[in-house]
Structure 1
Amino acid sequence: MNEPARAALMPLPPADRAQQVIAALADYIEQSGLKPGERLPAERELMTALAVGRSTIREVIRHFQALGVVEARKGSGTYLLRTISGATVHMPLTLDAAHLRDVLLMTLEVRRGIEVEANMVAARRRTEDDLKVIEIRLNEMERVHIAKGTSGPEDLAFHLAIYDATHNPLFRQLLEQMREAFERFWDHPFDRTDFARRSFPFHRTLFNAIAAQDPETAREETLKILAIVEEDIKEMSK
């Protein structure tokens, strides 16, 4: 009797350079006692010390920016925002779906759970200083939306300000990781600049609920925004 064919074992590929640099840089930050607000070594110094190219260093810096743990300041350098180490939890998010519609609906399910809770927590915990920042971001979002009909980066800044108002850093870190993994799907989906435009007015009513420290209304306004997004996904993907 012939034995069934077995899958062949193949040599393992070399370790991913970017992942190695991520681990090395996290270990360096921990071992050197670098504190939030302090500057990381310059790009060229990192290239020389780690024997990797500029593109790898920039990929790693973008990764840490997406996690919200470093900030690149033009003409000044890259600064640590939060202490990290080799044990810091990083969640690589992946999606295996053939159709954009399915990807967007799956990410929307995750967003609904996180954003509803974050906005309710922000309504309970926000300070007056938090509220000022959120309103500044909202006013800028509205200005750009009226001028251009779309406000991608400004919309993100508005939601990040709300996440900061929860005073739970995990909310912002989760949003940053989701953005890094999903932004290619949410950048003008279906090539429609009017995607989710109908949700625009509810950002102001969401702000009003947070200002009034009304978690239940914040929940309702968030669900209105996400319901419109879901409707647009289903309509525009026909």
Structure 2
Amino acid sequence: MADRAAAVLTEEISSGRWPVGSKLPTEVALVEQLGVSRTVVREAISMLRNAGLVESRQGSGVFVLKPQTAPLDLSVDESFSPGIKAKVLQIVEVRRAVEAEAAGLAAERADEADLAGIGEALAAIDAAVEAGGDGVDEDLAFHRAIADASGNPVLAETVRYLGEVMRTGIQVTRANEARREDFVEQVRDEHAAIAAAIRARDPRAASEAARTHLVGADRRLQDADDRFWARASDPTA
């Protein structure tokens, strides 16, 4: 829902209905306009902010920025199942490059607080799944904790940005993994291996563990049948 709300708001900006320098409607007005909750509106605004389309000014509101370059389109088109499959697999390739580097740097630079945060984020994934959730937010938080531990704020912000704009793709990835218990166990083991290598201060092993995790995600997605991708392309089905 946040993806769709962000798409509507982006269209309002790109069409010129909200010109550069203009102030976006209030949160209450956007809730009424979009027919969604305040949480969804806030997530959508966050996506626009990460894409460089708007900025928040304390005490004043949210304002449209002059575009510097065309925003990078990492969203997933849910209207066509072959399209969604190709895009999700491309997202996995991007994650493999970025998150492998983040894990390696985290193994070199993480302090005790960072290690504790990674451990807590890892445990939160299992807790969310056991409670019947999809674990998407917790999965994102785990990888953000690793990126934060890299000691590179630019890399951390990149992982945070990618997580927001690629949320739908990660949802599809986790939905696929939830289909089979062996997939669930593989993902749990892969996450644990990344965390263990970081705790062991082994950059090469940490990078390799992160890369192995994303290679596994690719393999598991390739295993999904057409019925899965049809459901992924139509979440209401």
Pick the TM interval, shorter chain.
Answer: 0.5 to 0.7
> Is it true that 1:24 corresponds to 2:21 in the alignment?
yes
> Is it true that 1:153 corresponds to 2:137 in the alignment?
yes
Amino acid paired to 2:72: P
For residues 39-188 of structure 1, what are the structure 2 equivalents within 5 Å?
Answer: 43=27, 58=41, 61-63=45-47, 66=50, 91-94=71-74, 99=82, 100-148=84-132, 150-188=134-172
Distance 1:78 1:113, change over 3 A: farther
**How far off its partner does 1:227 sit?**
2.0
Distance 1:164 1:122, change over 3 A: same
**How far off its partner does 1:89 sit?**
7.8
> Is it true that 1:227 corresponds to 2:215 in the alignment?
yes
The number of residue pairs the alignment matches comes to 197
Partners of 1:66 and 1:179 within 8 A in 2: no
After TM superposition, the structure 1 stretch with the greater mean CA deviation from structure 2, 128-137 or 184-193, is: 184-193
User: Would you tell me which structure has more helix in proportion to its own residues?
Assistant: 2
Q: CA RMSD in A?
A: 4.3
Name the CA distance, whole Å, in 2 between partners of 1:207 and 1:92.
30
**How far off its partner does 1:67 sit?**
6.2
Partners of 1:206 and 1:221 within 8 A in 2: yes
Q: Deviations over 1:104-159 (max 9, x none)?
A: 22111111111111110111111111111111111212222344384221111111
Partners of 1:119 and 1:163 within 8 A in 2: yes
**How far off its partner does 1:199 sit?**
1.5
Amino acid paired to 2:73: L
Partners of 2:134 and 2:174 within 8 A in 1: no
**How far off its partner does 1:18 sit?**
3.5
Structure 1 unaligned blocks of 5 or more: 1-14, 29-41, 48-52, 80-84
TM normalised by structure 2 equals: 0.63
TM normalised by structure 1 equals: 0.63
Distance 1:132 1:65, change over 3 A: farther
**How far off its partner does 1:87 sit?**
8.5
Name the CA distance, whole Å, in 2 between partners of 1:64 and 1:114.
22
Structure 2 unaligned blocks of 5 or more: 1-9, 227-237
Distance 1:67 1:170, change over 3 A: farther
Larger radius of gyration: 1
Name the CA distance, whole Å, in 2 between partners of 1:200 and 1:92.
31
Match of 1:199 in 2: 187
